[in-house]
Structure 1
Amino acid sequence: MEVPCGIISVEPGWYVSAQQSEEAEAGELSPLLGNELHRQGSPGVSFGFSVFNLMNAIMGSGILGLAYVMAHTGILGFSFLLLVVALLASYSVHILLSMCIQTAVTSYEDLGLFAFGLPGKMVVAGTIIIQNIGAMSSYLLIIETELPAAISEFLSGDYSGSWYLNGQTLLIIMCVGIVFPLTLLPKIGFLGYTSSLSFFFMVFFAVVIIIKKWSIPCPLRSNYIEQYFQISNATDDCKPKLFHFSKESAYAIPTMAFSFLCHTSILPIYCELQSPSKKRMQNVTNTAIALSFLIYFLSALFGYLTFYDKVASELLQDYSKYLPHDVVVMTVKLCILFALLLTVPLIHFPARKALMMMFFSNFPFSWIHHSLITLALNIIIVLLAMYVPDIRNVFGIVGLFYLKLSREDFLSWKKLGAFVLLIFGILVGNFSLAFTIFNWINK
């Protein structure tokens, strides 16, 4: 019989022995965790597919705004901030996995149960549901808005009013034909193939940004109706800045932090990893974050070196302006939109799991429950189609859990690191919330 990945039948407050923890830290799972993670009759998901799944969870629409962030922080300032956030993301996963070893549970919801009892479990599950529903809805909103425009660029003539240029119609077709079948899959590992496709779409995007750097000369000129209009006269506008600070720089850290948010997918991927261990999962995380960092950095750098201070908050808008009807640019737009579409099923999985653990944790797996919750979530995200919500404290949640659950002395490096994550999460969350409200008021 297959052992479900979730809480082991122990009382809250129970921990594995010190010897078992040492074995786990060394990369060898304790017998109890071995029963939990080495599912009988299941070979698990390969290292490569696990990396692709995690990268798909990491990379999203944020990649389009990082060149704008570099323009307002400078190349060195951006590089330093992006590296710090990437390291914090990796470290937060490290202490998250450490908590799994100490408590012998492999879900966020049950970590909340161990730390703060049933209210903790419900708050964590609710947070995951709200965050992931908002993220999925925001991606679908982008697809609804941008896909008709991307398709129309391939067409010559007036096709306004056609069904294939109607955003809502396209959104329903995509959700029924692609998103729903993928979200219906019972295990996150099955998404490895679509995640690998999404990864190659992102690589294609970065390669196009690099190549097109030499197709748009500086000072910038826009080509419309075979006439050239100079956008920038000053050669100083074509000099990169190593450090730059302005009021827009305040958005840098929140934007970067959101670009590495993948924590709700970490434990589901860990559950299905082939030969699972803390060390192996940490290697999956480090590889995914490193590759994401590389793609982020190259896209931002060459996007910035193409448009400099004139770069738009959404990078592809600039290419549409200065290279209208460029087939490669139009193709990469479609690739990015499909990459976002393929991210939705991956984000859907933790949200569905949270709902299942809230309402059906004491029941065996049922395809009826699974299908109904999947259908309900898909209907909700299509109807909402709103912007990313204000759940921005993932780093802080991880730090808080570790401080509560860890047996180490408070002055230990891990607890100090967890405390830093907690403060970082609170500051970034409140700071970004304040700026979001300020931006709404100005609009």
Structure 2
Amino acid sequence: MEGKHKITESALTQPLVELEANDISVKEGNTSFFKTCFNGLNAITGIGILSVPYALAAGGWLSLILLFIIALAATYSGLLVKRCMEADPSIKSYSDIGEHAFGRIGKVVVSVVLYADLYMVVTGFLILEGDNLHNLFPEITFDLFGISIDGKSSFIVLIALILLPTVWLDDLSILAYVSAGGVLASFVILISVFWVGAFDGIGLHNKGELFNLNGLPTAVSLFMFCYSAHPVFPPLYTSIQKKHQFSTVLLLCFTVCTLSYAIMAVLGYAMFGAGVNSQITLNLPKHKVASKVAIYTTLVTPLAKYALMLKPVALSTESWFPTYQKNKSFKILIRTSLVATQVIVALAVPFFGYLMSLVGALLSATASLTIPCLCYLKISRTRWGGEMVVILSIILLSILIVIFGTYTSMVQIIGEITNS
């Protein structure tokens, strides 16, 4: 039993340490304040910016307040991650924090949550690509072994086949540099959407709904999905030259990203009202230049990040089989199987908004709010006071998001599958 337990722990935790030490890219203590800010922005910004207008439409204008509340909670829990890192110089990764607080069980739980989060986010990339390509080329269908496949499903399979060789690579340093353009891509999309609304005839005239209680769980879950970068903070903290500047880095990154999310949410809802899709790019008029810029930028971004984000999941899975772990053919088989399972999930649940809502509620809230707060309370042994009240309030918020957001998302997904 003891040997089995050791294999399980290694399989769940060691790959993440390797990713954080090697693939996020930086030598300990050698990164400037500016570069750390850029890395932080790149970690926090992502495909969530496409779904915030849909989130605002689900909850109504007043739900925008919840975006700022979640942003404040995520910022504070990010600072708690920093404090956990300061408690012991040996802590280098997110899973190390879990181990330092709760031992081996804590390390395993944190790793499982992180890997599940990464797996589902990367699956969302396939759905995102399929939706946008089908929007651009709605008439295209494919025949595979005599079976006719509709356009959206065809594009999901096609994109997976294109991405598959990148997943086989062990050295992803080139893709890491490409993925750093994610920050720029987010701002390009934001500017393009604004241009379409202001100058391409769409206008910003939709009044929208003030408040929708029934759509609140969906809105909160999608807002939460936008703040799921906390597992990246430990290597960023380790890399920065002047550790006391890291709090400023977090505050700056969360402020910039939150303003970007809020602006995109307001723009999209004001442009398309209740008719806004789960991805704002699906609403844009395809014949406009600014729309094409936004759509093609959206297509390129996941292509650059897919292999990088799937790597820790692949390494973890390979570690379950230590005898074959260094066998190249076996690694290709494992990674191909992972991509195949993601294609199956993407085809079975092709609802981007609902899936990201589920990920935000179940995984992002746990990884970015619950875990940092619980670990900090255990490590610091905080006594009752103002800080304790704040931390317990964040934990309560995360539990409510998990319960109501997960339930609502599952009901929506099951309903869509049943009706399709």
Q: State the TM-score bracket (shorter-chain normalisation).
A: 0.7 to 0.9
- The one-letter code matched in structure 2 to 1:274 is I
Query: Residues 168 and 302 (structure 1 numbering): CA distance in 2 closer, same or farther, change over 3 Å?
Result: same
Secondary structure at the counterpart of residue 106 of structure 1: coil
Give me the whole-angstrom Cα distance separating, in 2, the residues matched to 1:415 and 1:356.
41
Q: Structure 2 CA distance, aligned partners of 1:98 and 1:284?
A: 14
1:87 aligns with 2:72: yes
Secondary structure of the structure 2 residue equivalent to 1:247: coil
Q: How does 1:26-45 map to 2 (within 5 A)?
A: 44-45=30-31
CA 1:136–1:441 in structure 2 vs 1: closer, same or farther (change >3 Å)?
A: closer
What residue is the counterpart of 1:398 in the other structure?
372
Equivalents in 2 of 1:191, 1:418: separation in Å? 37
Q: Pick the aligned partner of 1:173 from 136, 148, 162.
A: 162
Q: Distance in 1 between matches of 2:271 and 2:46?
A: 22
Give CA deviations for 1:45-70 in whole Å, capped at 9, x if unaligned: 44344333333332333222211222
Q: Structure 1: 5+ residue runs without aligned partners?
A: 1-38, 220-237, 361-366
Contact persistence 1:47–1:284 (CA under 8 A)? yes
Letter in 2 for 1:316: T
Q: Which residue of structure 1 aligns with residue 14 of structure 2?
A: none
Residue of structure 1 aligned with 2:118, choices 123, 129, 132: 132
Question: Who is 2:100 aligned against?
Answer: 114
CA distance in 1, matches of 2:380, 2:29: 31
Q: In structure 2, how many angstroms separate the alpha carbons of the residues matched to 1:133 and 1:338?
A: 19
Matched, 1:200 2:184: yes
Picking from 259, 277, 290, the partner of 1:294 is 259
Deviations 1:370-397 (A, max 9, x none): 9987984565145324355542412111
In structure 2, relative to structure 1, the CA distance for the partners of 1:252 and 1:330 (3 Å cut) is: same
Task: Report which stretch shifted further, 394-403 or 89-98.
Answer: 394-403
Shift of residue 246, structure 1, vs aligned partner: 4.0
Q: Distance in 1 between matches of 2:66 and 2:26?
A: 43
CA–CA separation in structure 1 for the residues paired with 2:178 and 2:212 = 39
> Of 137, 150, 166, which aligns to 1:152?
137
Aligned to 2:38: 52
1:211-263 deviations in whole A, cap 9, x for unaligned? 111323469xxxxxxxxxxxxxxxxxx45358322422331111111111111
Structure 1 match to 2:272: 307
Pick closer, same or farther for the CA change 1:406–1:197 going to 2, 3 Å: same
Aligned 1:38-437 pairs, distance under 5 A: 44-75=30-61, 77-104=62-89, 105-143=91-129, 145-146=130-131, 148-149=133-134, 152=137, 161=142, 166-177=155-166, 181=169, 184-185=171-172, 193-214=177-198, 215-217=200-202, 238=205, 240=207, 243-271=210-238, 273-277=239-243, 279-319=244-284, 323-348=285-310, 351=313, 368=326, 376-377=334-335, 379-385=337-343, 386=345, 387=355, 389=359, 390-391=362-363, 392-394=365-367, 395-411=369-385, 413-437=386-410
In 2, the alpha carbon distance for the partners of 1:372 and 1:284 equals: 41
Q: 1:71 to 1:436 in 2, by over 3 A?
A: closer
CA shift for structure 1 position 430: 1.1
* Secondary structure in 2 matching 1:65: helix
Structure 2 stretches lacking a partner, 5+ long: 1-24, 145-150, 346-354
In 2, Cα distance between the equivalents of 1:343 and 1:375? 21
TM-superposition CA deviations, 1:264-287 (whole Å, max 9, x none): 21113323x23151x322222222
Distance 1:356 1:115, change over 3 A: farther
Distance 1:147 1:71, change over 3 A: closer
- 8 Å contact 1:73–1:244 — kept in the other structure? yes
Residue 112 of structure 1 aligns with an amino acid whose one-letter code is G
Shift of 1:93: 0.8
- Displacement of 1:201 in angstroms is 1.4
**CA distance in structure 1 between the aligned counterparts of 2:33 and 2:321, rounded to whole angstroms:** 32
Whose Rg is larger? 1
Displacement of 1:41: 7.8
Match of 2:412 in 1: 439
Q: How many residues align structurally?
A: 364
Q: Quick one: distance in 1 between partners of 2:374 and 2:332?
A: 30
Hey, what's the Cα distance between the residues in 2 that align with 1:111 and 1:373? 29
Deviation at 1:200, TM superposition (A): 1.4
Aligned equivalents of 1:270, 1:355: Cα separation in 2: 27
By how many angstroms is 1:44 displaced?
3.1
Secondary structure in 1 matching 2:382: coil
Offset of 1:128 from its aligned partner?
Answer: 1.5
User: What TM-score do you get using the length of structure 1 for normalisation?
Assistant: 0.71
TM-score (norm 2): 0.74
Using a 3 Å threshold, how does the CA distance of structure 1 residues 371 and 63 change in structure 2: closer, same or farther? farther
For residues 314 and 114 of structure 2, the distance between their equivalents in structure 1, rounded to whole angstroms, comes to: 9
- Separation of aligned partners in 1, 2:240 and 2:57: 42
What amino acid is the match of 2:382?
A: E
Change in Cα spacing, 1:417 to 1:218, as seen in structure 2 (3 Å) is: closer
8 A Cα contact 2:206 2:272, kept in partner? no
Aligned-partner Cα distance in 1 for 2:94–2:227: 18
AA of the residue aligned to 2:408: F
1:141 positional shift: 3.4
Distance 2:37 2:329 in 1: 27
- The alpha-carbon deviation at position 207 of structure 1 amounts to 0.6
After superposition, give the CA deviation of every residue in 1:110-143 in whole Å (9 maximum; x if it has no partner). 2222222222222222222222122222213322
RMSD of Structure 2 on Structure 1 (CA): 3.6
Query: CA 1:41–1:442 in structure 2 vs 1: closer, same or farther (change >3 Å)?
Result: closer
More helix by share: 2
